[in-house]
Amino acid sequence: MPGLKDIDKIKAQALAAIASASTQDDLNNISIKYLGRKGVITSILKSLKDLPIEQRKSVGAAANKIKVEIDQEIKSALNKFKISRVKAGIDPTLPGIARRLGAIHPITQVIDDMCRSFHGMGFAIERGPEVETDYYNFEALNFPPDHPARDMQDTFYVEGNDLVLRTHTTPVQARVLEKCKLPVKVITPGKTYRNEEISTRSYCVFHQVDGFLVDEGVTMADLKGVLVAFCRDFFGEGMSLRFRPSYFPFTEPSVEVDISCFLCRGKGCQLCKYSGWLEILGAGMIDPNVLKMADIDSEKYTGYAFGIGVERIAMLKYGINDIRLFYENDIRFIRQFI
């Protein structure tokens, strides 16, 4: 039976073998030789019953101690092999792994494109608050108190009836006309809100780009010229426009503007409901009452205004058939517009 001196000798041999091991297989073989079920240390512990009682305690304690030490040394050596293998597998000359970048939202892209087009025609850009007063959202724009747009089913009211989430960006027009020096030529992009049922074609949040010009001698012909120039710049040459009579409280006369369907070029298809036309905006000459509310002489000055729904333009431009896709924050949808 091995004594304490033999156990120290076994420990020295095991540690020397671990230090000289060159592969993980070598370490596994050392572990089997010394710590396995038939290993050297295991055999010593099994034979303790054959030793005299006075030697069992000392030999058993020494065997268990070197068992722990050998196991720790083997694990430490295995970790070193793993670290060295990882380091050996790194090639600093290889290009890095590029992170996938986000994309500009299609609504933002369309607003930027529209603003660039109008800015090129001399329009300044103004923005206003999304929480608006009843005065600027309605009264200053010639909405009588009993107008349907004031109904709770259309408008989100906050803090009683004094403040609303703006239903269009035209209130910025009223604010600008109050403080500006004429002539003025401005577009007002921004987010708007209406209490509408959410469906494939309507949403409670949407964006608009409104525009207006006030100066001496402004006519409907000026409005038509600007809108024709915008549509041909934005949608491409060869686009026809159609002006239809309409009604808005803040313009008189008022029109709705259609463009020839860019998918079928006016021949009729599912997108244009086989009419050959797509409605894109509302416009008209600014009502004299709106000018008077801003203390502008409506006998001397005239102006035009227009409002374009950004989501509708984006749906037409990119062939999107459900407005809800813009607000679901699905990165797969957004990445299509990189």
- For position 145, which CATH number holds? 3.30.930.10
Domain that holds residue 59: 4-88
Q: Is 94 within a domain?
A: no
What domain count does the chain have?
A: 2
pLDDT of residue 45: 75
**Residue 61 shares a structural domain with residue 156:** no
Does residue 99 fall inside a structural domain? no
Q: Name the domain boundary from 24, 58, 88.
A: 88
pLDDT digits (tens, 9 = 90+) for 195-220: 888 888 788 999 999 999 999 999 99
What's the pLDDT score for residue 299? 93
Return the closest-CA partner of residue 294 out of 176, 208, 150.
Answer: 176
Instruction: For residues 278 and 166, give the distance between their C-alpha atoms in angstroms, rounded to a whole number.
Output: 26
Are residues 127 and 27 part of one domain?
A: no
Question: Is residue 153's pLDDT more than 80?
Answer: no
Q: Are residues 172 and 53 in the same domain?
A: no
Mean pLDDT along residues 56-79:
81
Q: Are residues 57 and 124 in the same domain?
A: no
The pair of three-digit structure tokens given for residue 111, joined into one six-digit string: 């607003």
Report if residue 150 sits inside a domain.
yes
Same domain, 41 and 133: no
Give 128-148 pLDDT, tens digit per residue: 999 999 899 999 999 888 877
More confident residue, 109 or 77: 109
* Listed residues 30, 57, 88: the one ending a domain: 88
One domain for residues 137 and 182: yes
Q: How many CB atoms lie within 10 A of CB 125?
A: 13
Q: Which two three-digit tokens encode residue 171?
A: 């209130």
Q: What pLDDT does 71 receive?
A: 85
Residue 91 is predicted with a pLDDT of: 63
| Residues 44 and 75 placed together within one structural domain of the fold | yes
Shared domain check, 196 and 56: no
Q: Does 207 share its domain with 74?
A: no
Q: What percent of the chain has pLDDT over 70?
A: 91
Whether 273 shows a pLDDT value over 80: the answer reads no
Rounded Cα–Cα distance for residues 324 and 338 (Å): 19
Choice between 80 and 28, residue whose per-residue pLDDT is larger: 28
Residues 262 and 236 sit within 8 Å (Cβ to Cβ): yes
pLDDT of residue 111: 95
Whether 32 and 176 share a structural domain: no
Q: Is the pLDDT of residue 25 over 90?
A: no
Q: Report yes or no on 126 lying in a domain.
A: yes
Under the banding of pLDDT at 50, 70 and 90, the label for residue 221 is very high
* More confident: 214 or 95: 214
Compute the CA torsion angle 62, 65, 67, 70 (nearest 10 deg): -120
Domain final position from 36, 57, 88: 88
Is residue 96 a part of any domain in this protein?
Answer: no
Most confident of 10-24, 154-168, 288-302: 288-302
Stated length of the chain = 338
Instruction: Using DSSP, state whether 221 is helix, strand or coil.
Output: helix
Do residue 302 and residue 203 come from a single domain? yes
Region 244-256 average pLDDT: 93
Mean pLDDT, residues 210-234: 93
Q: Tell me the average pLDDT across 229-240.
A: 84
Find the mean pLDDT for residues 158-182: 89
Residue 97 domain-assigned? no
Residue 265 has pLDDT above 70, yes or no: no
- 246-259: average pLDDT: 92
In what helix (H) or strand (E) does residue 334 lie, and over which residues does it extend? helix 331-334
Residues 97-124 pLDDT 10s: 777 777 889 999 999 999 999 999 999 9
* 37 in any annotated domain: yes
- 98 occurs within a structural domain: no
What stretch of H or E contains 78?
helix 53-88
Residue 18 pLDDT exceeds 60 = yes
CA 95 – CA 288 distance, rounded (Å): 65
Provide the token pair at 48.
């303790």
DSSP 17: H
Q: 40 versus 169: which is more confidently predicted?
A: 169
Give pLDDT, residue 95: 77
Kindly state whether residues 78 and 147 are assigned to the same domain.
no
Instruction: Express as a percent the part of the chain with pLDDT over 90.
Output: 38
pLDDT at residue 84 tops 60: no
Quick one: which of 43, 101, 22, 35 has its CA closest to 68?
Answer: 35
Q: Name the DSSP class of 41.
A: H
Whole-number pLDDT of residue 252:
93
